[in-house]
A and B are shown apart, each in its own frame.
Chain A
Amino acid sequence: MKRFVAVAAVSLLALTACGESSSPAVPGATSPQSDVLAKAPVATVAEILPGSTMEKIKQRGELLVGGSLDAPLLSQQNPATGEVEGFDAQMGKALAKYILGEPKVKIVNSASETREALLANGTVDVVFQTYTITEERAKQVAFAGPYYTSGLTIAVKKGTTGIAKPEDLNGKKVLAGANTPAIPAIKKLAPQAEIITFGSDPECIQALKQDRGVAYVQDETILIADAKKDPSIEIVTKPFTVDPYGIGLKHGDDQMKTFVNDWLKKMQDGGVWQEIWKTSIGTVVTGDAPAPPQIGSVPGS
């Protein structure tokens, strides 16, 4: 037993030592993602209203962001650098820079089922987490934005026939990420489909490959990334829903909502929004950055 402890201790030491020495040498530590933030706007002193949420954040010196650490292209922690990368993560950092002058964020890994509560009790200041604006949710939280629009599409194992539109899913086993907008969408468009859910995207892909379901309904961006990595799956339809993502804020905080919407406008007009898109989602979706959605254009925003 003693020997085991010694071996364990030595190997742990070796591991940590290895981690320390190698991390600065990791290629890509200064990614194009950090260059983009240099161009992000900073709020004037007058815009940080006294007594507002913005001022509290400024005094704290850190923006608390509710987000994910495992969403590829959107908000994923890079195991080599420890940095959280992706579209949502960059937007969060840009907002932090707008308030604080530097992109200092603390990402609180929040789950879909806790976001409303985290905002209500002040654990986080904002939520950047593919947070689809709905009227039900708008009763619990305030939404700035939308800052991005996406849509659901369908992936199948290559060679699967008979699925070309959402209605074809009726009577079939359909995979979806737990707590994603895919579940209500499938229920609406194909009420006879049997929905099977898993916690993460890799699990859904694995289940698709193991024939646990014949189709996988997920956000197009994520499915494109999956299909690029794994040639055994293919996407069979164009997006059939419109999911406007909003920036979650505390319910009733109109000052903050106006402030964040102003920031978003500056981000879009200054082209920073487009640059962030290019260095994240744009690395798998070809073509130019899409036109950003109109702020306040969705019921609930």
Chain B
Amino acid sequence: MGVLLEHLPELWQGLIVTFQLTAASFAGAAVLGVLVCALRVSPVGVLRALGTAYVETLQNLPLLVLLVLAFFGLPEIGIKAEPLVTAIVVIAVYEAAYIGEALRSGVNSVSKGQGEAARAIGLTFGQSLRHVVLPQALRTVVQPIGNIFIATTMNTALAGAISVVDLTASAQRVNLVEAQPIPIFVGAGVAYGLIAAAAGFVTGRLERRLVILR
């Protein structure tokens, strides 16, 4: 326990980086995820295929591989970014596939009549998605999206592989000196657990408020 207090500044700094990574990459994933979902449910075949390809590719590759590939591979073709930026972009792109799929399940839960009614009053595809379908879809997938948020938090621990010093990496650095893995990693684990619990609490409350009883 003493070892945690002694190294609180470093661990705290790591926790802040974990927060930054989670917040920024989740925000990016949310925006991209809506786009992916729109592609997946689009009436145009080519766009649907594009959406499917995106989801299938990213869901079938380990995030660690994507991170290392982007970090070491892209500079070879002249694209070089800071480690933190690389991590945020890669995690956002990766999680967007999952958010897109969660949203699509929400879209599928919106009854067909809603879409038909939207078309009948002359809304375009984009308009009916924005004003009729997505708002209802979002309300049904609060919990799955919350779970993806939690998964994103845990996945940020992989950013250490490309030299981002997040909570996990800073715990490793502290342990290197102190050689007390059990208190150090239990401490870090508790921090991740608290983030997940908070996210679970918020989504639980949101879901009860927003749920549509059909």
Contacts and interface: CB of A to CB of B under 8 A. Distances in A.
Contacts of B75: 210
Nearest to A121: B182
B48 to A, nearest CB: 19
B178 interface: yes
Interface stretch (B105-113, B158-166, B193-201): B158-166
Given A113-B185, A117-B181, A117-B182, A207 B175 contact: no
A259 B129 CA distance: 74
Q: Is the interface of B mostly helix, strand, loop or mixed?
A: helix
Contacts of B185: 113
B176 A210 contact: no
Contact of A113 (B163, B165, B181): B181
Contacts of A199: 160-161
A212 B176 contact: no
Contacts, number: 59
Interface string A127-147: 000000010110111000000
A196 interface: yes
Given A199-B161, A210-B75, A140 B179 contact: yes
Given A117-B181, A210-B72, A198 B162 contact: yes
Interface of B: 68, 72, 75, 80, 83, 160-163, 165, 169, 172-173, 175-182, 185
21 contacts: A112-B176, A113-B181, A116-B180, A117-B181, A136-B177, A140-B180, A179-B176, A181-B176, A183-B173, A183-B176, A184-B177, A196-B83, A196-B163, A197-B160, A197-B163, A197-B165, A198-B162, A198-B163, A203-B72, A210-B80, A212-B163
Interface of A: 112-114, 116-117, 134, 136-137, 139-141, 178-181, 183-184, 196-199, 203, 206-207, 210, 212
